[in-house]
Amino acid sequence: MSTQRVAYVCADPGIPVFGTKGASVHIQELVRAWRRRGADVEVYAVRRGSEVPADLADLAVHEVRVGGKDLDPAERERAQRAAAAQLSELVLAARPDVVHERYSLFSTVLATVSAAHACTTVLEVNAPLVDEQREHRVLVDEAGAEAALEAQVAAADVVACVSEQVAGWVRSRTTRPGDADVRVTPNGVNTDRIMPVTPDPSGDPVVVFVGTLKPWHGVEDLLAAAALAQVRWRLRIVGDGPQRSVVERLVARHQLDVELLGAIAPEQVPQALEGAAVAVAPYPASADHYFSPLKVYEYGAAGLPVVASAIGQIPDVVVDGATGVLVPPSDPAALAAALDALVTDPARARRLGAAARRRMETLHSWDSVLGRSLPAPLGASA
């Protein structure tokens, strides 16, 4: 059997292929999963990035830049369309067997290529981007963005959505949802890269948080919980972002014992988790919690019990009382109580963490994520 040639496409200027954010990790892990299947993978993107893992140093990345930051919103949208058109030409010239595209605003690479070249097509949808852009940024040509989504979904053999909420959004935004194979394929974790950690026996127990310091990650609730704690534990925050100054002010105000590590490369996550006793994902209450947080899977792979908000897809990953503890979102008192209970019961924490690790190994490998994203017979070989 000849080697499959796979074109992985990301036309989102906010996502570097080689970067530190969760979306970058997602791309890299799917490339690795394709390679483990024996595929020859090349990436087509508008932003390459510079944080290149050693095992992907040989990955061919074809980059078409969108343009400078001085573009106004309308110009930027036109630049995104133009970049996607150039990516389409590059992919068509390569004539791959599979086009696997991460859904991006205004991109129709998958639709354009599949109309001119017979190939298997997978559209990966990780967020309701049209809604996000309209509500949180600026969206000039909403009709054009909707038309691009419609074309991409219509051309895909499989539409792999990161959560049930995202799948529902795709179905509601396309005129012929019954014709599309829309599936829910949550995120995964590399259980070879992230191994079980050992809690640091010296000093107070460590509670670890990994994530960008933005409002929807709930760091303010976490710091409020730390201030309410009835027992001593140290907080380690791994990540950076626009709320860094807010975090620093709250730490000083409440005189908290917090270690701020800043942003790190994906390969440094295992080291950042080492020594922790408990991990936390304190997402606040939200009507649109549609994502599948990578951190929750990474915590489980590290053998850490997870205290997380019972919101969105998290209860499908963290089994309350079995692999972690679920608490109401935006409830610092409940969060503090759950963290206090785990750090004072290390035997229970170890038991939950071991169960979390087993769950990640059996259900959430990236190989299984990719396999569930593929049409038969490709998916059957996962």
Q: Is the pLDDT of residue 382 over 50?
A: no
pLDDT digits (tens, 9 = 90+) for 244-261: 999 999 999 999 999 999
Please spell the DSSP secondary structure of 205-261, one letter per residue: PEEEEES--SGGGTHHHHHHHHHH-SS--EEEEEB--TTHHHHHHHHHHHT--EEEE
As a whole number of angstroms, the distance between CA 117 and CA 93 comes to 10
Residue 163: name the closest of 128, 189, 131, 136 by CA.
128
Residue 376: name the closest of 189, 117, 181, 116 by CA.
181
Please spell the DSSP secondary structure of 100-150, one letter per residue: EEE--TT--HHHHHHHHS--EEEEEE-S-HHHHHHHHS--S-HHHHHHHHH
pLDDT digits (tens, 9 = 90+) for 221-240: 999 999 999 999 999 999 99
Which CATH code for domain 5-188+365-381? 3.40.50.2000
CB distance 373 to 158 below 8 Å: yes
For residue 234, what are its two tokens?
Answer: 């140290």
| Amino acid in the structure at residue 186 | P
Domain ranges of the chain: 5-188+365-381, 206-363
CB distance 236 to 277 below 8 Å: no
What's the fold here for domain 206-363? Answer: Rossmann fold (3.40.50)
At residue 287 the predicted structure's pLDDT band, cuts being 50, 70 and 90, is low
Mean pLDDT in the chain? Answer: 94
The yes-or-no answer to whether 5-188+365-381 and 206-363 have a common fold is yes
Alpha-carbon Rg for the chain, nearest whole angstrom, is 21
For residue 253, what are its two tokens?
Answer: 């105000």
pTM for this entry: 0.87
The CA-atom distances, in angstroms, between 310 and each of 266, 271, 301, 334 are 26, 27, 20, 12
